[in-house]
Amino acid sequence: MGFLDRKPTSAVGIDISTSAIKMLELRKQGKGYRVESYAAVPLADDVVVDHQIKEIEAVGTAIAKAVERSRSKTKQAAVALAGSQVISKTLTMPAGLSDDELEQQIAIEADHYIPFPLDEVNFDFEVLGPVDGEEGQVEVLLVASRTEQVEQRVAALEVGGLLPQVVDVEPFVMENAAYLLRHQMPNDGEGATVALFDVGATTASATILHDLKAVYTREQVFGGRQLTDEIMDRYGLTFAEAGLAKKTGEGLPEGYQQEVIQPFVADLVQVVNRALQLFYSSTPRYGKVDMVILAGGVATMPNVAEMVEEHLDVACVVANPFQDMQVSTHANPNALERDMPALMIAAGLAMRGLD
């Protein structure tokens, strides 16, 4: 996990998912951001499986295509590991240690925190602040991942012609990107407890925020690929046709809502409700959530937020991270609006590259 010594004025976030490469470039503009460019390139099956990059060249080629289509000139890029690919621990350390001293101390005690040989691991840490009731001690967040996981993503960026600037972790990226959703939250997020669900092709990731800080995260195996496969099988469509039909409803018979969409939404409601119930039981001090925000490819389905709201009896909206941003003429506004719920990771990564 690294940074350039000089902060760039624009940065690219590359979201490597099971189904596509999503590339988003943001530029600093005053206290906010401007969308400079955007492109998405689909990935073939089995190129990325369970967050593992199986074919680095194929991913790198897709990244290069996305960069070409976007016409971006920015080379600095940020990418993320899935939460399931990292180990995170909150440690207590003596206050006053330098970063070098903290790194040495963590390395000495690493076998207590990291179940892999240290030479097979990349790790980073951040001092969170003083420990309540323990003078002279600070909390330190340690995040570690197998080196091969990091190297896969770095190699894919390099094949795509980009310079790896940051390797982050998706739950942290979602917390960062949630700042862009303040306008959709009660009281701009202050004092609010909001459940952000990013439902992609194969994974549903829940990030529960309080005061815009993540207080709970969870991943479940569930995603839009299940719906695409059902549409393909039931109506004899190709994968591309089924994907388009899922988003627009075009080309499907009248009964498809009852036959396919309603059962899928019922499954989605169960996934969301299960995550909320686990949050309530494990972290009761925050009470009930004030709002659910849907992100990811599933959130682009017509009326999905209204259906989830009706079933769960809690306010539900579709993520719109770009409402307060200007959009460059280089970016296709129609494509950006169509795909905006699926760009939370890419947006958070681009923001991270500008930190």
Which CATH number is 118's domain given? 3.30.1490.300
* Whether residue 142 is found in the same domain as residue 125: yes
Helix (H) or strand (E) holding 146: strand 134-146
**Per-residue confidence at 280, pLDDT binned at 50, 70, 90?**
very high
Same domain, 218 and 287: yes
Q: Are residues 153 and 233 in the same domain?
A: no
| Number of independent structural domains in the chain | 3
- The SS3 call for residue 126 is strand
Is a pLDDT exceeding 70 seen at residue 8? no
Spacing of C-alpha 344 from chain mean position: 6
Residue 4 lies in a domain: no
Q: Residue 201 has which token pair?
A: 């092709």
Q: What is the CATH number of the domain that holds 286?
A: 3.30.420.40
Band the pLDDT of 306: cuts 50, 70, 90: very high
Let me know whether 157 and 142 are in one domain: no
Whether residues 25 and 72 fall in one domain: yes
Please say if the pLDDT value at position 7 is more than 80.
no
Whether residue 220 sits in one domain with residue 91: no
Say if residue 213 is in the same domain as residue 254.
yes
Using 50, 70 and 90 to split pLDDT, how confident is the model at 248?
confident
Specify if 2 maps to a domain.
Answer: no
Mean predicted confidence (pLDDT) in 247-271: 86
- Range scoring the smallest mean pLDDT among 54-63, 130-139, 198-207, 346-355: 130-139
pLDDT for 6 = 54
Residues 129 and 60 in one domain: no
Q: What is the mean pLDDT of residues 329-350?
A: 91
Residue span of the structural domain in which 98 resides: 86-146
**CA nearest 155: which of 166, 164, 165?**
164
Transcribe 167-232 into DSSP letters.
Answer: EEEHHHHHHHHGGGGGGGSGGGGTT-EEEEEEE-SSEEEEEEEETTEEEEEEEEE--HHHHHHHHH
pLDDT digits (tens, 9 = 90+) for 30-82: 888 999 999 999 998 889 998 899 999 999 999 999 999 999 999 999 999 99
Whether residues 202 and 294 fall in one domain: yes
Tell whether 214 is covered by a domain.
yes
- Whether residue 224 is found in the same domain as residue 297: yes
Task: Write out the two tokens for 117.
Answer: 């040989």
Q: Give 242's pLDDT tier (boundaries 50, 70, 90).
A: confident
Tell me, yes or no, whether 3 lies in a domain.
no
pLDDT of residue 334: 86
The better pLDDT of the pair 118, 85 is held by: 85
